[in-house]
Amino acid sequence: MQPMGLGSMDAGSMDAGSMDAGATDAGAAGAPLVLASGSQWRRGLLDAAGIPAEALAPDVDEDAIQHADPVELARLRAAAKAESVAALRPGCWVVGADQVVHLDGVARGKPRDADDWRRGLASLRGRVHQLSTAVTLIGPDGGAEHFVEHSEVRFRSDLSDADLEAYIALGEAKGCAGGYMVEGRGAWLVESVDGDWTNVVGLPIFALIGRLRARGWRLGAGGRAAAGGLGG
């Protein structure tokens, strides 16, 4: 699982400089897409959907970006990531994403240490928590769109302390929000997921494809997507 003065935005809304829906950006046909992330999982989701992308880790201090509202926090961080990479890759499509796990209105960050990890997982046991992924899509002309997808995850109620200790010992989710990876061994902690599975993994691919399609992207005969329907 994964600082700018943006105001609160409804899911799917666009800012004043956004791209016009239904129109391909000027010069966008054939422009490459850059994923503002070092996540192999997000890159894998794009690859599986036939969206060729360069992955470039953004130079962003996520800890320096804070907000009391978990969803707004994810929005701010996703935008910062996308803008950081867009500055290095002008004329490209850029996708930035940030995921937050939250329960009772409080964001659950990455575990600080083993004790924090243990407490965090134990507090999720038998409960439903929310997982929100904010995405910023920047077009070749610099216009940006921001949207958020939400899923609900229910942890198993029969998890013992030994189950949690065994999972923590694996170390696979040390750097993950909430301290677990549902796409890995963390599946043993989860009873059910309500919502888009790709959102839980880290990038809501169905919502992203919908926005790319609105801007002229199409899947080509060769199974590769591109703006202007030029996928080969």
In a domain, 127, yes or no: yes
- Burial label, 223 (beta-carbon count in 10 A; 0-12, 13-18, 19+): exposed
Residue in 98, 104, 113, 158 annotated catalytic: 98
Instruction: State which residues form the domain around 116.
Output: 33-227
Q: Write the CATH number for 193.
A: 3.90.950.10
In a domain, 162, yes or no: yes
At 55, list the tokens: 């992955």
What is the pLDDT averaged over residues 98-104?
96
Of residues 196 and 227, more confidently modeled: 196
Residue 123 pLDDT greater than 70, yes or no: yes
What are the tens digits of pLDDT across the range 71-94?
A: 999 999 999 999 999 999 999 999
DSSP H helix total and E strand total for the chain: 6, 9
The two most distant CA atoms of the chain are separated, in Å, by: 57
Closest residue by Cα to residue 2 from 109, 136, 79, 94: 109
In a domain, 148, yes or no: yes
Rounded to two decimals, the pTM is 0.84
Which amino acid is present at 49? Answer: A
Confidence of residue 105 (pLDDT cuts 50, 70, 90): very high
Tell me the H-state helices in 89-204. 114-124, 161-170, 197-201
Q: Tell me how far apart the terminal alpha carbons of the chain are, to the nearest angstrom.
A: 31
Neighbouring-strand partners of residue 173 = none
Output helix, strand, coil percentages for the chain, rounded to the nearest 5. 30, 25, 45
In a domain, 99, yes or no: yes
Neighbouring-strand partners of residue 225 = 219
In a domain, 8, yes or no: no
Cβ(220)–Cβ(229) under 8 Å?
yes
Asked if 98 is an active-site residue, the reply is yes
In a domain, 25, yes or no: no
pLDDT of residue 9: 36
pLDDT of residue 227: 87
In a domain, 4, yes or no: no
Domain count, the chain: 1
Q: Enumerate residues 6+ apart whose C-beta is below 8 A from 4.
A: 76, 79, 80, 83
Neighbouring-strand partners of residue 137 = 95, 145
In a domain, 19, yes or no: no
Q: Give me the helix-helix angle, 40-48 and 205-213, nearest 10°.
A: 50
Cβ(102)–Cβ(56) under 8 Å?
no
